[in-house]
Amino acid sequence: MIYAVDFDGTISMAEWPEVGQVNKELVDFLIRRKMLGDKVILWTCRAGKPLADAVDFCRSYGLTFDAVNDNLPEVVEKYGSNSRKITCDVYIDDRACHIDDYQFTGDVDVDRIEAALVKFADRMAMAV
């Protein structure tokens, strides 16, 4: 299994570009998955020093990555190219909506999307 995980609002609950207030439950989950042989990719908009700070922050909690803002080498080899889209089985991101939560009708149901986002925000507030 390959996990791609965001940093800001997902691993770290601090305001960008700061790091801190770790989501320890998620970090522990990812460490356990790696111990079972799964791969973890840090998939974030951070670059330069903020990216290095994020990687160092995760390392300080025992979480290392198999790739950072990049596909795994074995995925690149398999497909013969390195797509800009990360190939993974699971995306973990604070701004995600799960497609199974929506029935396609051809129309965009903004109220339903907003309700899903409020539900997610409530879960995040309870985690803090």
Q: Closest Cα partner for 5 from 39, 37, 50?
A: 39
Domain chopping of the chain, boundaries = 2-94, 97-128
Please give the sequence-ordered ranges of beta strands (E in DSSP) within 9-76, or none if there are none.
39-42, 67-68
Decide if 73 contacts 38 (C-beta within 8 A). Answer: no
Decide if 41 contacts 72 (C-beta within 8 A). Answer: yes
Per-residue pLDDT of 100-124, as tens digits, reads: 665 656 666 667 667 766 776 676 6
Distance (Å, whole) CA 38 – CA 3: 8
Q: Closest Cα partner for 97 from 118, 85, 113, 86?
A: 113
pTM beyond 0.85: no
Mean pLDDT within 49-68: 98
Phi, psi of 101 (to 5 degrees): -80, -5
Of the pLDDT bands very low, low, confident and very high (cuts 50, 70, 90), residue 79 is: very high
- Of 3.40.50.1000, 3.10.129.10, 3.40.50.2300, 3.40.50.720, the CATH number of 2-94 is 3.40.50.1000
**pLDDT reading at 91 higher than 80:** yes
